[in-house]
Chain A
Amino acid sequence: MKSFLALALILLPMLASGDEAPIAGTVKAVDAGAKTLTVEARAKGKVRDVVIDIRPTTKIVRFARESVSGQIKEQAAAFEDLRSGWTVSVTTKHEGHREVAEFVRVVHEK
């Protein structure tokens, strides 16, 4: 019984966090009307285009130094700032058949 409980306690958090691995890749398209990003994501032998919905609640950040020699910090950005060719890492959740962005981090601005 204890082993069952231990197994369940290990499995539950892993399963519950199933959708949270970020999607990283190059922005192929920004659709201002539909409020979506198309990201060419790469992983495990495959390269695929993923359409990601951006919502008002989506947090978008880029990175910059506070000063020339300062630390690199997150800075708030807007959907309108995003450009094709940039590299992003996006944390998403599933809503029905949609991939919805919770957190977009701009990794590289080309």
Chain B
Amino acid sequence: MLAPAGVTVLIVSVVLGGLLSVAAGRSHETQQAAPPEAQPGATQEHGAGHQHGDKDHDHGDSDDAAQMHMHAPVPPEYKSAHVPAAAWTNPRLIAQGKQIHAQRCAVCHGDAGDGKGPAGMALPLKPPDLRDGRMVGEMTGNYWFWRVSEGGAVEPFKSAGSAMPAWKHELSVEDRWAVIVYQHTLSGHEGPHVTSEHPESVMGSHAGHRPDAKAGSDSPAGGASSGTPHGGHRH
């Protein structure tokens, strides 16, 4: 039996959708290659392919995303770039990091680190919730240092749509350590960034995942060799 009202509405919606898609597609093709995120439905797709539990388990973005929680192998030049063990509980450094976070990071990450800063809310790829103890527990110090240093300027985060600045151009190594150790406290951790302090994390259960136990090098490329945090698997 025909259902005139329902069929009519459905036809209208399909036709309208088709017209919108064609219009959007034409515009993007001719308009200096507008990005995919400006296309219909793209915002949902950002998160959809990057949730925990995906088949290929390839997350989106660690820094930029509660929705897109991506881990990627730390590149060789940052393998040794650990945050010094003593830094995690250094009150001076934590206070210094709090100031930097307020001045530089909170606009996107929020004062509380919840990812709800006013600018972050406007991004297609939302910042993560730094209060998430599990996520924080998964981030080894050199991984974190890499993310803060390079932001969204490097792959795979660049292609994923991260708008995070590369802070290495504006913050010294110590300032980056400071902001990391401060943000570490936002997840409720007051001790050092070690497995015993992160019982909720899976950090200790993966080969190659280990918290920072070694003193950091002064530069990302230097210092002692490390394990392969985040390098042994892809979430």
- Which residues of chain A have C-beta atoms less than 8 A from B124's C-beta? 21-24, 43, 89
- Which residues of chain A have C-beta atoms less than 8 A from B31's C-beta? 50-51, 94, 97-99
B119 close to A12 (CB less than 8 A): no
Q: Tell whether B202 is near chain A: CB-to-CB under 8 Å.
A: no
- Which residues of chain A have C-beta atoms less than 8 A from B94's C-beta? none
Given contacts A15-B17, A47-B158, contact A107 B122 (CB under 8 A): yes
| 8 Å CB contact of B118 from A14, A17, A63 | A63
Cα(A107)–Cα(B108), bound, Å: 7
Convert B114-133 into 0s and 1s, putting 1 for each residue whose CB lies closer than 8 angstroms to a CB of A.
00011110111100000000
Main secondary structure of the interface of A (DSSP, over half): strand
B108 close to A19 (CB less than 8 A): no
Convert A30-63 into 0s and 1s, putting 1 for each residue whose CB lies closer than 8 angstroms to a CB of B.
0000000010011111111111000000000001
B20 close to A18 (CB less than 8 A): yes
Please, which residue of chain A has its CB at the minimum distance from the CB of B1? A1
Classify chain B's interface size.
Answer: 35 or more
| 8 Å CB contact of A107 from B13, B24, B34, B123 | B123
Classify chain A's interface size.
Answer: 35 or more
Q: How far is the CB of B75 from chain A (nearest CB, A)?
A: 18
B9 close to A5 (CB less than 8 A): yes
Convert B9-50 into 0s and 1s, putting 1 for each residue whose CB lies closer than 8 angstroms to a CB of A.
110111011001101101100111111111111110110000
Cα(A99)–Cα(B40), bound, Å: 14
- Which residues of chain B have C-beta atoms less than 8 A from A41's C-beta? 34-35, 37-38
| 8 Å CB contact of B33 from A8, A12, A14, A49 | A49
- From B160-168, B207-215, B217-225, the one touching the partner chain is B160-168
- Which residues of chain A have C-beta atoms less than 8 A from B45's C-beta? 44
- Which residues of chain B have C-beta atoms less than 8 A from A108's C-beta? 107-108, 119, 163, 165
Q: Which of A99, A103, A107 has the most CB of B within 10 A?
A: A107
Q: Tell whether B65 is near chain A: CB-to-CB under 8 Å.
A: no
Q: How far is the CB of B188 from chain A (nearest CB, A)?
A: 22
- Which residues of chain A have C-beta atoms less than 8 A from B165's C-beta? 87, 108, 110
B36 close to A1 (CB less than 8 A): no
Cα(A8)–Cα(B120), bound, Å: 32
A48 close to B27 (CB less than 8 A): no
Cα(A53)–Cα(B115), bound, Å: 29
Please, which residue of chain B has its CB at the minimum distance from the CB of A50? B34
Q: How far is the CB of A64 from chain B (nearest CB, A)?
A: 9
Q: Tell whether B135 is near chain A: CB-to-CB under 8 Å.
A: no
Q: A23-B38, A26-B163, A96-B27 are in contact. List 9 more A-B contacts (CB 8 A).
A: A5-B6, A11-B17, A15-B13, A21-B38, A21-B40, A23-B34, A44-B161, A51-B31, A72-B111
A-B pairs with lowest CB-CB distance, top 7: A1-B3, A18-B40, A4-B6, A41-B35, A43-B37, A43-B161, A8-B9
9 A-B contacts (beta carbon < 8 Å): A4-B10, A19-B40, A22-B38, A24-B37, A41-B38, A44-B37, A48-B33, A48-B35, A50-B33
